[in-house]
Amino acid sequence: MCGIVGYIGTQTADEILLAGLEKLEYRGYDSAGIATVADGQLHCIRAKGKLHNLRSKMEAAKTGAYLGIGHTRWATHGKPEEHNAHPHLDTHGRIAVVQNGIIENYRELREELQQKGHEFRSDTDTEVIPHLIAEYLSDSLQEAVRQTVDRLQGAFAIAVVCADFPDELIVARQQAPLSIGFGQGEFFCASDTPAIVPHTRAVLSLDNGEMAKLTPLGVEVYNFEGDRLKKYPRTLNWNPILVEKQGFKHFMLKEIYEQPGVVRASLETYANVNWQPDDTDTMPIHLGIPDAVLNDLEHIHILACGTSWHASLVGKYLIEQLAGIPTMVQYASEFRYAPSPLTANTLTIGVTQSGETADTLAALSAERQRRSHLADNLKPRLLGITNRPESSLGQLVPNIIDTCAGIEIGVAATKTFVAQLMAFYFLALDLAYRRQTLLTSKIQEILTDLRQLPAQIELILESQERYIEELAHEFGETKDFIFVGRGLNFPVALEGALKLKEISYIHAEGYPAGELKHGPIALLDSKVPVVSIALPGNTYEKVISNAQEAKARDSRLIGVVSLNDEEAAHTFDNLLPVPEVNEWLSPIVAVIPLQLLAYHIAARRGLDVDQPRNLAKSVTVE
Ligand code: G6P
């Protein structure tokens, strides 16, 4: 979504703000702007389009200011035009505001302010904020911002500077993330930590209903009632190198290549290497979640969006088939308005790579709220699965499985999907062990096979990338793709189609292979390739039959098949072979060639793989 940065200190703000925005551009990128305060004046520069447009404009207009705020936008209210780009100013151009979120009551506020003579210049909801601050401003900027946030409804994070307060940067948070970085005589704010970690790892995340005053001397945190709070920064333990491309052409490709390491890290964190099937003293999996959360479960509800929703569908399959617990997966954006009936002893899991998706957070909050006053067996049991435990999700739910994937910059999720799948393997095996739904020897077998995965993913990357890059050339004109899979690999077909749509803008759909004949087959002809996941297992024969049905309609057939499948060449026009794995683990090896296919088709078309049009890495509005 949008990105906010702010700086106050002893260095020139322009370059720090631009560099910060570059780190946040993956979250939203249709326009950008910066406002700085120098020589008693506010200087504001904005540009439509990618950040390099703003950078070029700024070359000619450096101010040498030590204080400023910046923003990269993903349009919600008002088209992506320069006049709608942030920062927004008050009528006299003395106050500048950047905002992330949505001000729901902006229409009433705008009318009220227009009647008082305020001149509006954009179509955005944000512009009411500088005008309201101007309305309340007398001798304290902080107090004017406090009175302003009191009037705002919705989810927002804001940063404010004013030409009349050259030593103050005010920030406030309500349901949208905002962190403060503590340097030596300089302070930073940002909606996401990648903009801060190149300067300092001492970071304080504001909670909802909190605001802060940053000055060259320090940071004071207050609640919206104006009471001073005692809060201290913590040290982030991640490496700024994670947010560099390290020689790869795109973050997406780098993140695809990080997957063996991510799988290794999650195995090291959660799988107990010393456990043996006859060992009753220790558990095979250590998730660090209290027994009261995981024991005696009767139902599991999973809430997620996008790629995380696909991972959750695999999770449902694993939990139901391995641990025997009825599991429901719902789009978080639907759950809040049509919640599932209340069931007893239910674990609700929110899955979100960013930990900031507004739909998922809102659904989890609604679930917590509706259950909190009920009897013990109906009380909320909440768990989050994320690679960003420091996110808003981490503050909302008491239990987190950190997927060990680190930050992901490419908008199209790759390593975080695989990492979420790993979390579901561990959860399903842990529950199966507790409930004795699997023989301990079977649990050990799956754990042994999981340990083979990093090397198997490396093999796919080494052996397949060049071939897939070549193959991608052949789809320069293709307008539609169909992906099919069955059982555990139906969600992988959905994910393969989503990856292609997101970054290549080719229309693509995923179906359960058996459903092809019930409608989608009408779309097939020689111009519509079908990608089929046909890996060994109990649906293999059926998937091959479904592929033959597509072949009979002249579709070009691409098969994700096992390296040992000697028959596959008779069915498929192109083969994407992967090592033969335990059927339960097939989604992890199946998705790798699909990620590479989407990547190379988009890269071949010369598209902006890491920042595809209209998308944002995390969507912090509902
Ligand atoms: C956005 C992204 C998708 C992502 C979805 C859910 O729409 O573009 O790639 O899958 O949000 O994100 P989350 O952070 O909740 O996993």
Question: Could you tell me which residues are beta bridge partners of residue 330?
Answer: 303
pLDDT digits (tens, 9 = 90+) for 229-278: 999 998 887 666 667 788 899 999 999 999 999 999 999 999 998 899 98
420 lines ligand 1 (CB under 6 A): no
pLDDT digits (tens, 9 = 90+) for 52-86: 899 999 887 778 899 999 999 887 777 878 889 99
Average pLDDT, the chain: 93
pLDDT digits (tens, 9 = 90+) for 566-599: 888 899 999 999 999 999 999 999 999 999 999 9
**Which of the four pLDDT bands, split at 50, 70 and 90, describes residue 178?**
very high
CA–CA distance from 402 to each of 78, 256, 265, 383, 497 (Å)?
A: 37, 19, 11, 11, 26
| Residue in 239, 257, 247 with CA at minimum distance from that of residue 193 | 239
Give residue 433 CA to ligand 1 midpoint distance, Å.
31
CA distance 338 to 343: 15
User: Best mutation site among 505, 617, 620, 622 for ligand 1, i.e. most ligand atoms within 8 A of its Cβ?
Assistant: 617
403 lines ligand 1 (CB under 6 A): no
Give residue 308 CA to ligand 1 midpoint distance, Å.
7
User: Best mutation site among 333, 505, 610, 619 for ligand 1, i.e. most ligand atoms within 8 A of its Cβ?
Assistant: 619
Inform me whether the pLDDT recorded for 29 exceeds 80. Answer: no
User: What one-character-per-residue DSSP string does 361-392 give?
Assistant: HHHHHHHHHHHTTS-GGGS-EEEEEES-TTSH
Q: Could you identify the atom of ligand 1 that is nearest to the CA of residue 359?
A: 15
Give residue 619 CA to ligand 1 midpoint distance, Å.
7
Inform me whether the pLDDT recorded for 521 exceeds 90. Answer: no
Q: Specify the pLDDT at position 620.
A: 67
Q: What is the pTM of this model?
A: 0.82
CA atoms within 13 A on the CB side of 616: 24
411 lines ligand 1 (CB under 6 A): yes
- Find out whether 533 and 558 touch, Cβ atoms under 8 Å: no
Give residue 410 CA to ligand 1 midpoint distance, Å.
11
Give me 29's structure tokens: 């990128």
353 lines ligand 1 (CB under 6 A): yes
Mean pLDDT, residues 518-546: 91
CA distance 340 to 553: 41
**Which of the four pLDDT bands, split at 50, 70 and 90, describes residue 610?**
confident
Question: Could you tell me which residues are beta bridge partners of residue 557?
Answer: 530
Classified as helix, coil or strand, 499 is helix
357 lines ligand 1 (CB under 6 A): yes
Contacts of 378 (CB under 8 A, 6+ apart): 342, 344, 346, 371
Q: Which residue stretches of 38-140 are H helix? A: 51-59, 106-115, 128-136
Question: Could you tell me which residues are beta bridge partners of residue 331?
Answer: 304
Give residue 174 CA to ligand 1 midpoint distance, Å.
21
Q: Could you identify the atom of ligand 1 that is nearest to the CA of residue 357?
A: 15
CA–CA distance from 209 to each of 145, 372, 542 (Å)?
A: 12, 21, 55
Question: Could you tell me which residues are beta bridge partners of residue 301?
Answer: 328, 348
Give me 96's structure tokens: 């500048």
Give residue 351 CA to ligand 1 midpoint distance, Å.
10
Question: Could you tell me which residues are beta bridge partners of residue 100?
Answer: 157
- Percent pLDDT > 90 in the chain is 78
pLDDT digits (tens, 9 = 90+) for 470-518: 999 999 889 999 999 999 999 999 999 999 999 999 999 999 988 988 9
Give residue 544 CA to ligand 1 midpoint distance, Å.
32
Q: For tokens 């690679």, name the residue.
A: 387
354 lines ligand 1 (CB under 6 A): yes
pLDDT digits (tens, 9 = 90+) for 277-336: 988 888 999 999 999 999 999 999 999 999 999 999 999 999 999 999 999 999 999 998
352 lines ligand 1 (CB under 6 A): yes
Q: Which of 254, 499, 501, 617 is catalytic?
A: 617
Q: Specify the pLDDT at position 573.
A: 96
306 lines ligand 1 (CB under 6 A): yes
Q: Could you identify the atom of ligand 1 that is nearest to the CA of residue 498?
A: 9
User: Best mutation site among 27, 305, 329, 613 for ligand 1, i.e. most ligand atoms within 8 A of its Cβ?
Assistant: 305
Sheet holding 67-73, edge to edge: 41-48, 31-38, 67-73, 3-8, 187-190, 179-182, 202-205, 234-235
Active site residue 2: yes
